[in-house]
Amino acid sequence: MPPIDPEETSPAPPPRRAPRFAALEPLRLPVFRLLWGTWFIANTCMWMNDVAAAWLMTTLTTSPMWVALVQTASTLPVFLLGLPSGALADILDRRRWLVATQFWLAGSATVLCVAIGLDRMNAPLLLALTFANGIGLALRWPVFSAIVPELVTRPLLPAAMGLNGIAMNASRIVGPLVAGVLIASAGSVWVFVLNAVLSIASGFVILRWRREHKVDPLGRERLVSAMRVGVQFVRQSQRMRAVLTRVAVSFFHSSAVLALLPLLARGFHEGPKGGAGTFTLLLASMGAGSIIAVLLLPRLREMFDRDHRVLYGSMLLSAGTAVLALSPALWVAAFAVFFCGAAWITVANSLSVSAQLALPDWVRARGMSTYQMAIMGAGALGAAVWGQIAELSTLRASLLVAAVTGTLVMLAVLRWVPDGPGEDDMSPAGTDWAFNPPPASAGEDGRVVITVEYLIDPARAAAFHAVMQETRRARLSQGAIAWELLHDLSAPERYVEQVVDESWTEHLRRFHRATAADLALRERRLAFHRGETMPVVNRYIVQRG
């Protein structure tokens, strides 16, 4: 197959279409179709692996705790490696990094095949190999999330994220179906063989994408510094904090369904080999509900704001979980998980789009990695908690507890963890916006201290302080390591802003990281300044020794 033309990788304004096609519009872009198809295959492999591993564990032990820990082992690496994987995805060539993750997944699947083939598999080893597969997922997810906004225009981003949800949930149908057929006809080992083959094929498909990696003129960031800046950005962003809290609560409670579903499926059939088809049917029903919800999301976005979609989705998830816990028949359980899937994708898509819009491109992978960590960390913890509750009581009791607390906790979060006002423009401001730009080189090493002197009407001091608190968050989110506002007691109108950067290079990076929202904030600061000239800026190098 010929490689993808680089010209096709640039997002083009979408042609006008009827509103009913809005959810599918990004598929008109060739490179998005290519990577979307790869994402679908990659997630099919993920679900095949998870289903086969969960089912294999039920043949090795009957303990609900061990079965639930399969999901924990799969998701915990994402929580542990989220920060470094996001930093690497922002620093390195994203195309090559994505290819490398596919080959890692192929390697872990191969090792799992060998262990089964040699009849060396046991419960602890299965968890260890599932954990190794989770490492590949941890490395892959942030880079793919960061790539999507490169492929589509901002208005198409919600639809693109929705299509990613379709890929995820269509794979939730296809993956379990393929895994179920292979497990029933040939054995679990062939699921992992197919997983390895498809992962390698996906890696070679991604190589067809001729993405031009833009080298940072200031050089590659150091990993530790890049991780620090990523954490600072998220800490200083009110919107990101709100999104992370909401998504953690949602996935902590929704993990009860996925973690305990294999054992519920076995409950509908007796015998050591019973229930494989039931498990596949329930997962397929959940995936079908998710796909239907994605197609309805454009309409839901018109009807409700984000927090209402999150609340109603949480309520629907709680209702579906409760019905699943009390279901007397398989068809009732399938009906319940259908709505669980619809609720899950509604909440996840609403929060994922909100996170993407809150992140500038320079920190996108790092920001989305924290989003991923919140999902997977909450999911891993939730799986262990709901498994332990089931161990101490019953499966149905564990699901009922998750159903009742899910909506109650989300209501508390929506009330006590407010979102930021409006949406900031995170497009790059360029490097020409500063009224006193720094020179290209300082000629010395050491921390950099910057002072900016403002002359402010004392009667407007309170309003100025409020704007400067926003400025503090902005400076720290760009990478500054310290910020203070000094007030001259001998001249009440004089204020001095003091910012500390790790080095001269990191000082220059802050100018490259500025967004249109930072430019608007600068104009608000300058509106308070009463001097005849612009505020005086001074830069100092901290001398060592």
Q: What is the pLDDT of residue 88?
A: 84
What is the spatial distance between Cα 341 and Cα 294, in angstroms, rounded to a whole number? 10
* Arithmetic mean of pLDDT, 101-109: 86
Residues 269, 278 contacting (CB under 8 angstroms):
yes
For the segment 412-439, the average pLDDT, to the nearest whole number, is 75
pLDDT at 64 over 50: yes
DSSP3 helix / strand / coil % (the chain, rounded to 5): 70, 5, 20
For residue 240, name the pLDDT band (cuts at 50, 70, 90): very high
Please answer whether residues 336 and 324 qualify as being in contact, where contact means their C-beta atoms are separated by less than 8 angstroms: yes
Quickly state the pLDDT bin for 409 (edges 50, 70, 90): very high
Q: Which pLDDT belongs to residue 179?
A: 78
Cα–Cα distance list, 299 to 23, 160, 238, 306 (Å): 10, 15, 27, 13
Which of 18, 20, 15 is CA-nearest to residue 296? 20
pLDDT > 80? residue 435: no
Dihedral sign computed on CA atoms, order 124, 125, 126, 132: positive
The string of pLDDT tens digits covering residues 174-185 is 776 777 778 777
Higher pLDDT, 374 or 143: 374
pLDDT (average), residues 59-86: 79
Weakest mean pLDDT among 25-29, 130-134, 157-161, 468-472: 157-161
Q: What is the mean pLDDT of the chain?
A: 83
E strand or H helix at 115? helix 94-117
Element (H, E) at 125: helix 123-151
Q: Which two tokens stand for residue 296?
A: 């309805």
Give the strand order in the sheet containing 448-455: 482-487, 494-501, 448-455, 536-541
Reported residue count of the chain is 545
- pLDDT score of 476: 94
> In the prediction, which pLDDT does 186 show?
74
Q: How many CA atoms lie within 13 A of 16 on its CB side?
A: 0
Which of 6-20, 296-310, 438-452 is predicted with the least confidence, judged by mean pLDDT? 6-20
Q: Which two tokens stand for residue 338?
A: 């259908």
Dihedral through CA 140, CA 143, CA 146, CA 148, nearest 10? -60
CA distance 227 to 369: 11
**pTM for this one?**
0.76
Q: What is the pLDDT of residue 89?
A: 82
CA distance 234 to 387: 31
Over the stretch 126-175, which tens digit does the pLDDT of each residue have? 888 889 888 888 888 788 777 877 787 777 877 787 777 677 767 766 77
pLDDT score of 426: 81
Tell which wins on pLDDT, 398 or 288. Answer: 398
Return the pLDDT at 461: 94
Rounded Cα gap, residues 127 and 71, in angstroms = 9
pLDDT over 70 at 58, yes or no: yes
Predicted local distance difference test score (pLDDT) of residue 68: 74
How many angstroms from the chain centroid is the CA of residue 264?
A: 29
Query: What Cα–Cα distance (Å) separates residue 99 from each residue in 96, 106, 457?
Result: 5, 11, 57
Q: Domains (ranges, CATH) in the chain?
A: 21-210+222-416 (1.20.1250.20), 431-541 (3.30.70.100)
Hey, which residues does 449 pair with through a beta bridge? Answer: 500, 540
**Residue 500: which of 474, 480, 485 has the closest Cα?**
480
More confident residue, 535 or 19: 535
Q: List the beta strands (DSSP E) in 435-481.
A: 448-455
Can you read off the two tokens belonging to residue 380?
């891993």
DSSP tag of 384:
H
The Cβ-side half-sphere exposure at 209, using a 13 Å CA radius, reads 30
Q: Residue 20 above 50 pLDDT? A: no
Unique residue bearing structure tokens 């949800």: 165
- So what's the pLDDT on residue 280? 73
